[in-house]
């Protein structure tokens, strides 16, 4: 079983809409969660991190964490074509002392 799971997509949304990206994780000992964005042919870069249950907002991005359901999500408001990329969810496990990445969800924002 993959420790961090994401739907591979592609998820297509029209420009200006809200894109919702979801992630589940299997290790209940996971403490920190991250969303990385990866443009085609480029390396991943961090866009959001979240450690506590609830929402965390940063500009057009909102990360949501529900530890009871082992669920993390990323909302992108007012989606732009420049948001088209693959979004990787990652979780840090204190027990295993490692950061595990999901396989990513490809987002396409249609102008």
Q: Among residues 86, 65, 68, 71, which one has the least CA distance to residue 19?
A: 86
Q: Among residues 23, 31, 22, which one has the least CA distance to residue 4?
A: 23
Position 104 contacts another protein (CB under 8 A): yes
Total number of residues shown for the chain: 111
Position 35 contacts another protein (CB under 8 A): no
Of positions 16, 51, 52, 55, contacts another protein by CB under 8 A:
51
User: What residues are paired with 106 via a beta bridge?
Assistant: 86
Position 31 contacts another protein (CB under 8 A): yes
Position 98 contacts another protein (CB under 8 A): yes
Of positions 20, 26, 49, 70, contacts another protein by CB under 8 A:
49
Position 44 contacts another protein (CB under 8 A): yes
Using the CB atoms, write b or e for 25-51: b if 16+ within 10 Å. bebeebeebbbbbbeeeeebeebbebe
Q: Give the residue with the Cβ less far from another protein, 13 or 89.
A: 89
- Residues contributing to the site for another protein (CB under 8 A): 31-32, 34, 42-46, 49, 51, 88, 90, 92, 94, 97-104
């Amino acid at each position: 079983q993959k420790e961090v799971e994401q739907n591979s997509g592609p998820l297509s949304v029209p420009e200006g809409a809200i894109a919702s990206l979801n992630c589940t994780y299997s290790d209940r000992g996971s403490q920190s969660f991250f969303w990385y964005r990866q443009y085609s042919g480029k390396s991943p870069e961090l866009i959001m991190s979240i450690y506590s249950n609830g929402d965390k907002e940063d500009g057009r991005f909102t990360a949501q964490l529900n530890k009871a359901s082992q669920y993390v999500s990323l909302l992108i408001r007012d989606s732009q074509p420049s948001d088209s990329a693959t979004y990787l969810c990652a979780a840090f496990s204190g027990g295993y002392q490692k950061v595990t990445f999901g396989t990513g969800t490809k987002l396409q924002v249609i102008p």
